[in-house]
Structure formats: structure tokens, C-alpha cells
Structure 1
Amino acid sequence: MDELKTGKHIRLYAKLELAIILLLAIIPLFTSFPYRVNIFLSWEGAYRLSQGQVPYRDFGMPLGYMYWVIPAVFFKVFGTQMITLVKAQVLINIISGFAFRSILKSLNVQPGVRLLSVILYCLSYSFFNFWPWYNHTVIVYEMAGLAFLLHYIAKGGKQWIFLSLSALFTFFSFFTKQDGGGLALLICLFLLAYDCYTNKKWKPLLIFSLSYMVIALVIILPLTRYNFGYWFNHGQPPHTSRISLFEIADEFFMNSQWIKFYLFIILLLILINFKTTKELFVNKSDTLFLMITFGVLVEAAILQVTSYTPPDNNIFFHSFAIAFILSQLSKHLHLDFNKPRILTVGCLGLSLWWSGVFWKYFQRIAERVIPGTSVSQNSTENIVNRKTYIIHPPANDIPESEWTFTGLSSFKKIYMPKATAQGIQRILNMDMVKTRKGSLKVLNMSELTPLAVEMGYQLEKGPEIPLWYHLGVAMFNKQAVQYENKIKANEYDLVIFEYVPTLNNFYPFRVRDTLINYYQKIDSFPAPRRGDTQGTIEIFTPKPIH
């Protein structure tokens, strides 16, 4: 009877895993969003690909183009509205969750532990990512590559196609972003080399390596006729490298508290559960689990330096570490997480740990029920507490209560400061925009990239045109000089420039200086930004000829 109940519970847990992955992925489809900072480059890359433009021929970027492929397909199917990016992210999050679940299944993780780990993965990593971002997509492709590789290993090496599929997605990871993709390849090679060593067969490693190289050649060789080497050659002049062993070590030892904590706990578990080094390699699943967990923790320690924005883009390591720790504890302490009582305690623990995910939705209600300390405006009493002991300068943020929808198709379900929406409308009401639709030459150095659709102007194309304009990251002085020369020659009828003084050349300051000297500023309005990176969108036209 107990075995029958356990079997029912395990089947229920499997269904719950799938339901949680799907439910948390589709929630963004039913809501509206404030304008997302930096999402402009996701839109423009997907838009250019959906229009048939070829990377490195029609535009350049210091990454591979795989990040934009899924959003571009969604643009073709659902249209080029910015909200389509959210729809694309739904699929990306579903792939991510299923891949992580598949990894745990291949490692024979106890169903109860697997359910807890999937919940943690979705809460701590997937659910936050409503919008696609390359620092997230690179990991999703990595998860898919690891899932196929471990599925091959779990099946006893009988289905070679999974090795090639693993190589395919691992290359997709590299061709999304070099740092995460390169580390993904090393982890895969590390795991596969161990499997080959234990089986005394090296053919799988050869198949994986050859598959990876063939896929890389098929994708990269057609691009070499363009300016691929200049854009992708990251880390050599005129590019700068983000890899610094000192910075990685400094960040690890000065911060990285969670990563160091997990490494400490894992080391203790190894000492407890394995008496000799030889025992460590007896159970293949345990060894693979340890290797992948250690590899993910090392990857997270490196990515927090090389991919520093957003600051939490590496927190996928929590799920692997907790899954390994709970699996080892279940064996050592004889805990059966398949039992509903223990599983319920685990779920409550996760909810408490990651309460910030849902607390912000209940915060306003709780404030009414449990009011905090406040100071009456009519009171002359000086009250000093944790919220008032520091005198902050007045915030310049436009309150979200003053944000609104634009009424434009490209910004459907996206709201932004009313002043920004009004500024956009003023641009669209300009005589030149109304009368010269399709022939207007526009330089849009702002994050309002969907204006290309609303205004109907053609995007510049060419091997020297960067996808976005962050000087030293996505473009270089060579491109800045070219834009300055075009401005001096009055080649643009209209220039939209975003000035963000606190960000280092996020839009090139030198180009703005040239604009001020050779063009006239006819309008300005707030950029859809908040916090310390607020900016101003400035509208320039050529100076009249006297």
C-alpha cells in the first residue's frame, strides 16, 4: 500500500513540475509592463533579423546572433510590437525549465528533491526574466546542451543523436555570448571526458567535438565574407577584454557569499558521504552531479565579473547547489522528500527563503493592516528611524503614477512616463515625419528603437553599422568617427539622441558634442529610465542655411 501511495505521489510530483514551469512562464502574458531599460537592443536585433537583414553584413555586434533568433521568429509570427519580446521570453523560460528538469531526471534525483529544485529554479531564475536578455539566453542554451548530454549518458550511450544535439545547443550558447558559451563547452567536455574514461570508450567525445566543430563551421564560414572578424574578435584591439583573473579572485574572496557557502557545505557532504577518494567515483550519477554542480558554481563566479549586468544574471547556481545538497542529505539522513509532510516543509522553506518574489505584491495590503512608523505633516516632532536617519536628496524619478500608455502599436501594453509619451507624439507630429515617411534619413541613438516602425524610416545598413551604440562595447572609435563625419555632412534629416550622463558613453558623448556644433536641438524630453541612470532624449535637425 505504501509503495502504491509513493508511486501516486511521484506521478503527481512530475505533473506539478510541468505545471509550475508552464504556469510561471505564461503569467507575463496577462499583464502590462513599464518600459524596460536596455530592451531596445533586443527589439532592434530581432527586428533586423525578421526583416531579412544578415548579421555582420547589414549590421555588426560583438556577439553571435543566436540570442535574437527566437525573438525574430516571434516577430515574424506575432508582429514587431515590443510586447512580442515578452511572448518570446515565455518560450525561452519554458525551454529553460524543461531543460533543468531533464538534467535532474538524468541524474536520478529523488522526485521530491527534483520538485523542490524545479520550484527554486523557476522562482529564483526564470520568473524574474519577463524580457529576453542575452546574459539569460546564453544560460538557457547551455541548459539545453547539458540536458541532451546527460540524457545520452543516462541512456548508456545508445543514442548518438543526443550528443550532436548537445553540441548544437552548446554552440548556440557560445554564439549567444562568448563567456557563458565557452564555459558551457568546458563543462560539457569535462562531463563527457569522465563518462568516456569510466566506459573506456572515447568515441563519444570525438563525436561531440566533431559535431561542435562542424556546426561552428557551417554557421560561421558564410559570415567570414563580411566583417565578422572585426565584430566578433572580442578581447583584441580595438576591443577590450573583460577577463581578469584578479577581478574574478577579488570578487570571489570579497563577496560571493552564497557560492562560498555552497562550496563549504558540499565539501562537508563529500567528507561525510565518501570515506575515500575511490568511493567518490563509484556512483556515476553522484559523480556527474558533483561535477556539474561544481562546474556551475565556478561558472557563476566567473560570470559575475564578465557579465556584470544585470547583477543577478548568474543565480541559476542556487538550484544546482540546493538540488545536490538535498540529494546528499536525503541519503545521509535517510530523508524521503517523496513524503508529502517532508516535501511540504521543503516548499514552506523555499517560500520563506524567496519570499521577496511574492511579498512585493502583498506589501501594500500588509502596510494597511500593519502600519509602519509615519510622521504627520502637521507635526513638529523630529522622528528618527531606519527610514529617516539619512537625509536623501529629492528623487528626480517621475512617479509611476504619472506613467501612461502611448496608444502606439509598437508600444502596446508598455507604459512609460507621460512626458516621454508626449515627446514621442511631438516627433510623430513633425511635418517632415508626416510628409516624408519612407524617405526620411534618421539617426536614432536612443532606446526608442520601435520608432523605426512608427515613423516608417529605413534603418541604416552596412558592415560598419553597429546594432547598438555603447562606445567601447558595441561600437568603437572607428564607428564614432564615421557618424561624426555624416553629421558634419548633414546626411541626417533628423537625429534622436539619448544623453545619459551617468553611464560611460552608453551613447557616445563625442557624437553628441558634434551634434551640438553642427545641428540644432529643437526638443527634449525624459528618457524612460529610473534611478541613477536617468537620461534625456534630445531631438536634433540640421541648422538652417542662411
Structure 2
Amino acid sequence: MISHMGVQEKWINRLEWIIIIGFAIIPLFMNFPYRVNIFLSWEGAYRLYLGQIPYRDFGLPMGFGFWVIPALFFKLFGPYLITLVKAQVFINIISGLAFRSILISLSVNPSVRLLSVLVYVISYSFFNFWPWYDQSVIVFEIIGLAFLLKHLFQSAELKWKLIHLALSAVFLFWSFFTKQDGGGMALLIALSILFYHSLQTGKFRYLILFCIFYIVIALLVILPFLPYGFAYWFNYGQPPHNARLSLYDVVDVFLGESTWIKFYLFIIVVQLIPKISSWKIFYNDPKEFIFALLTLGILAEAIIFQVTSYTPPDNNIFFHAFAFAFIFSHLPSLKQALSLNAFAIVAAMICILLWWSATGWKYTNRIVRKAFHINQELNYNIVSMHTYMLPDPSDTLETNPDMTTWIFCKEPIFKGIYMPVSTAEGVNRLIQNAWIKENGKKLKVLNMTELTPLAEAIGYRLETGSNIPLWYHKGVAMFDSQIQDYQSKIQQHVYDLVMFEYIPRLNNFYPFSIRDELYKYYVPVDSFSGPRRGMYSMIEVFVSPENKNSYLSNNHP
């Protein structure tokens, strides 16, 4: 397959496709625990799937770009939780191909390109089994940058140059319309590349055209939503929103943490010193200059992104593959070894897999423990690396759950997703309650929990309106105006059934003041644990006083 004198590029191309697609489809053969925040991915996609219009039927502090692909997959495969995994498979494939396209445009050595693709897949896309906007914003950015570099280096005909430039503007805007921070920085990277190219060639028409394309696309997308309160919902730092960017936090996290980013910067800066000393040669080599500009831009974005998108803490790891590609493209002896020796390619791939083994092992370990019957219980009479510290007395099954005891819920909407026993039993009680089964489609329901798929399972209609938030995190996605509206509705017994998730350690993830009103004006009829791990949460079920007897008398059909 690989010749003695060099690696045939056609086989490298095939290997890259195999890596990108092979790793992407692995989740299709797995079951998953209920994931934190997956409720939001599901509900946004579900509302679009139902034909609801953002900002008119529900509000959110960003664009709705993230939810479009999951909504399309709901149309194809049904609004099941596991459908989100299928959507992410598609996202991971196009993400890997876009990254590969960038390296092709920059004429990265095929062997280095292959290893860089493997780093990208194993360190970033494979890491994301579920769709999440902090990843989708980067995927749309990478696609946009891929089209921009195709415009600069692969398009010969004017027609294709314009098409690729327009597509770049489309995806870079869609990145911004997925999330403002990553999308805004993506735009700055693209503008810096085009500005350099304009200076270097003395022609600014493509920079101007890109700006025109971007503005036109933005207007076409945004203007139809202005009558529905878009200016209120979309967060650009205006009240009642807060700006997410703090210069101090950026400096603090960069200097106090960010070990990998600083390491890569050190290597890259050292590699660039000889090039800068020959400034004119470097400046007049567009691929080399843009490669450096892009890599440094991605690292700068990662520095800021880890502050503006701080949860989960690994949101910004997209930078590894870009830095790897640049660094290894500028190590002549390594490039020579990879080009001449098939064993070096294989050894390098094995080392990359070991470097990022923690990502895959986290999932594989579950299978290994089950297959080989490795005991989960610890014997504290024997001191080992697992038992040299005694367990924290404050730990409970809620705060430190044993996920091997989690089970599947009977409801088809949750197929392939396992959850705590208490959660599954509570969901089954709700769905099997005769009063709910008989009146499900007519019930007015407020569901302030992570179990948003209950809307499809029970059949109740989601509440709509320009003042209805997509999710309920106070100060992030809902504000005092919405909280007052909900308090008023609770006082008036507007809802027949209310589900509220109490998570005391999360600051108003579901507003505590609404829970207080529920205990004043509604009747608690059930409770069970939330589908979380590592943090206590309790889902409390309330009914209006008028429906108390109907619910309780039919609680055990």
C-alpha cells in the first residue's frame, strides 16, 4: 500500500477519509448516559422541527444556527434523543473534511496532513458525541475558512472564486449566528487573511466583496426577526444581558493555565524567527504567511474562547490540530522521515493515539470493565491507588453516582439513553399516570427540567410567545421580565402540571424564586432524581390544586 520510496498520496487520501468517517460513526454503535445540557440541544431542535419560529415563538440569546442540523435530522429520523447522536456523526464528518481541505489549500505535506487529520479527529471531533453550540460554532468557522482558502489557492476560474468566497461568508456568518464569541473571532481571522492578501497583491476587491456578501447574508437572515424582539434577545452586551468578555479573566486564565497553548506558541514563535528575519521572502509567500496567520489566529481564539465559553472546560481544544500541523510542517527532518519511511507514519499514528488515549479510553473502559467483570466495589481493607484515601462522608449516590446501576427508560423517546434508576422510574410514573395519559395533549405544562423530551412523550403542546425563553438559566437565557411572567402565571394557576428541577449548587440554572412560588400556589405530588451525575438534583412534580385529586387518584393505573 505504501511504497518503499515514498507514501503514495492516493493512499493517504483514502486513509484520511477512513479516519474521518470511521471515528465519526463509532457512536452509532453505542448507548449513552443522559448527558448534561442535552435537554437544550433537544428542545431547540424540537421546536424548529415543529415549525416554530425563533424569537416569535421562543427567545434565545444567540442565533439559532446550531439547531438547524439537529432539526433536519429530527425530520429524517424522528425527535428521539439518539437522533442527536446521528446529527453529530454528520457534523463530525463535515468538520473533519473541512479541516482536511484547509491543509490541502495550504499545501501541507501529505504525511503531515494525515497525522494532523488524525490529531484533529481524536482530539476534537471524536470528543463530541452530542451536538453542542460551542462545538458547532467552530465547525461552521472551519468550513467557512476552508472555503476562503479554496477561494485564495484552489479556485482558478472567476466563477468559482466568487462562489467559494460567497460560501465562506455564508458559513462564517452562520458561525456568528450560532454563537457570537467564536463566530466573531472567526470573522476577524477571515478578515485578517483577506486584508493580508489584499496588501500583498495590491487588490482589495475580494476583501470588499467578502464584506458585502457577509453583510447581505446577515441582513437577509436577521431582518425578518426584528419584529419579534430579536434586538432584545440577541446578546451583544446590552441590558438585560451582560458582556461575556473580561480582559482580566483572559489574562488570568492564559497566564495561570493554558499550558498547551503557551507550549505551542513557544514552538511556533521559535520556528517563525528565521522567517521573520527574512521578512520579504516570508511576506511574499502567501501560503506560508497565511498558514502562520491562521494558526496564530486560532490560538488567539482559543485563549479568548476558554473564557467566554467556560463550560464545559474543554470547549477550546480545536487548536491542537492547527498547531500540530504548523509545527510539524516546519520540522524538516521529521518531514523527510515521514515521506520516506512507512514505518515512521505508522509509529507516528500510534503515538498520536496514545497521546489522546484518554478520550477513547473513557468510553472503552466501560466496555472493558463489563466484559472482564472488573469489580467496581472497593475493598478498603487493602490499601491501593484506589483506596489510600477514604471516601468523603458527604458523598452520596446523588453527588457521586455509580453509573453501572443506571438503566434504560421504557419510553421510546429515550431509546439508547440510560439514566439513574430514580429518574427512569419517575419518568415512567409520569407517562403512565392515567390522568396524564388521558389529558396529555390538552394539559398546560411548564417543564423546567432537563427532561425536555417529555413534551413528545406526553404529547403536550410547548408554550410559545416572544417572551418564552428556550431555556431557563437566569441571567443567561431568561431575565427578570420572564421570571415575573412565570410567577404571575403560577399565581393564577395557568398550568395544570409543572415539573421543576432543583439544583442547589447551580446558580439559578432554574430560578429558585419560581420554585418558591410553586410551593405557595401548587401542590407537590412527586419527586425523583434528575438525570445528572456528580451533582445533586431533584425533579419535583407539581399540579394545580384543582387537579390534585385527579393526579393522585390515577397515580397507579
TM interval, short-chain normalised: over 0.9
Query: For the Cα contact (< 8 Å) 1:9–1:338, is it kept in 2?
Result: no
Secondary structure at the residue paired with 1:525? strand
The answer for the alignment partner of 1:264 in structure 2 is 266
The answer for the alignment partner of 2:514 in structure 1 is 511
The answer for the alignment partner of 2:477 in structure 1 is 474
**Residue identity matched to 1:438:** K
Q: 1:46 to 1:342 in 2, by over 3 A?
A: same
Give the unaligned 5+ runs of structure 1: none
The answer for the alignment partner of 1:499 in structure 2 is 502
**Aligned match for 2:241, one of 239, 242, 262:** 239
Deviation at 1:277, TM superposition (A): 2.6
Alignment TM-score, normalising by the size of structure 2: 0.92
Take 1:389 and 1:529, find their aligned partners in 2: how far apart are those partners?
A: 25
Take 1:375 and 1:311, find their aligned partners in 2: how far apart are those partners?
A: 29
Q: Are residues 1:227 and 2:229 paired?
A: yes
Q: Are residues 1:407 and 2:371 paired?
A: no
Q: For each residue in 1:128-166, what CA deviation from the matched residue of structure 2 results, as whole angstroms up to 9, or x when unmatched?
A: 111000000000000000000001111366421100000
Deviation at 1:385, TM superposition (A): 5.2
Take 2:334 and 2:418, find their aligned partners in 1: how far apart are those partners?
A: 52
Take 1:170 and 1:413, find their aligned partners in 2: how far apart are those partners?
A: 34
Take 2:218 and 2:396, find their aligned partners in 1: how far apart are those partners?
A: 49
Secondary structure at the residue paired with 2:485? helix
Query: For the Cα contact (< 8 Å) 1:33–1:415, is it kept in 2?
Result: yes
Take 1:333 and 1:494, find their aligned partners in 2: how far apart are those partners?
A: 65
The answer for the alignment partner of 2:60 in structure 1 is 61
Query: For the Cα contact (< 8 Å) 1:442–1:457, is it kept in 2?
Result: yes
The answer for the alignment partner of 1:50 in structure 2 is 49
The answer for the alignment partner of 1:317 in structure 2 is 319
The answer for the alignment partner of 2:294 in structure 1 is 292
Task: Count residues in correspondence.
Answer: 539
Q: 1:234 to 1:499 in 2, by over 3 A?
A: farther
Deviation at 1:335, TM superposition (A): 4.4
Q: 1:455 to 1:359 in 2, by over 3 A?
A: closer
Report 1:55-454 matches (<5 A): 55-155=54-154, 158=158, 159-330=161-332, 334-337=336-339, 339-360=341-362, 361=364, 379=381, 383=383, 387-389=387-389, 391-393=391-393, 394-396=395-397, 397-454=400-457
Q: 1:534 to 1:467 in 2, by over 3 A?
A: same
Q: 1:389 to 1:332 in 2, by over 3 A?
A: closer
Segments of 4+ in structure 1 off by > 6 A? Answer: 366-369
Query: For the Cα contact (< 8 Å) 1:273–1:332, is it kept in 2?
Result: no
Take 2:57 and 2:547, find their aligned partners in 1: how far apart are those partners?
A: 33
Q: 1:362 to 1:490 in 2, by over 3 A?
A: closer
Take 1:456 and 1:363, find their aligned partners in 2: how far apart are those partners?
A: 35
Take 2:228 and 2:183, find their aligned partners in 1: how far apart are those partners?
A: 23
Deviation at 1:323, TM superposition (A): 0.4
Deviates more, 1:349-358 or 1:306-315: 349-358
Identity of aligned residues (%): 51
Deviation at 1:365, TM superposition (A): 5.3
Query: For the Cα contact (< 8 Å) 1:111–1:338, is it kept in 2?
Result: no
Deviates more, 1:519-528 or 1:342-351: 342-351
Q: 1:78 to 1:287 in 2, by over 3 A?
A: same
Take 2:317 and 2:10, find their aligned partners in 1: how far apart are those partners?
A: 29
Take 2:335 and 2:39, find their aligned partners in 1: how far apart are those partners?
A: 50
Q: 1:514 to 1:399 in 2, by over 3 A?
A: same
Secondary structure at the residue paired with 2:63? coil
Query: For the Cα contact (< 8 Å) 1:406–1:415, is it kept in 2?
Result: yes
Alignment TM-score, normalising by the size of structure 1: 0.94
Take 2:184 and 2:105, find their aligned partners in 1: how far apart are those partners?
A: 23
Deviation at 1:278, TM superposition (A): 2.5
**Residue identity matched to 1:271:** I
Take 1:333 and 1:436, find their aligned partners in 2: how far apart are those partners?
A: 68
Give the unaligned 5+ runs of structure 2: 549-557
Deviates more, 1:70-79 or 1:170-179: 70-79
Secondary structure at the residue paired with 1:225? helix
Take 1:365 and 1:39, find their aligned partners in 2: how far apart are those partners?
A: 26
Take 1:332 and 1:375, find their aligned partners in 2: how far apart are those partners?
A: 46
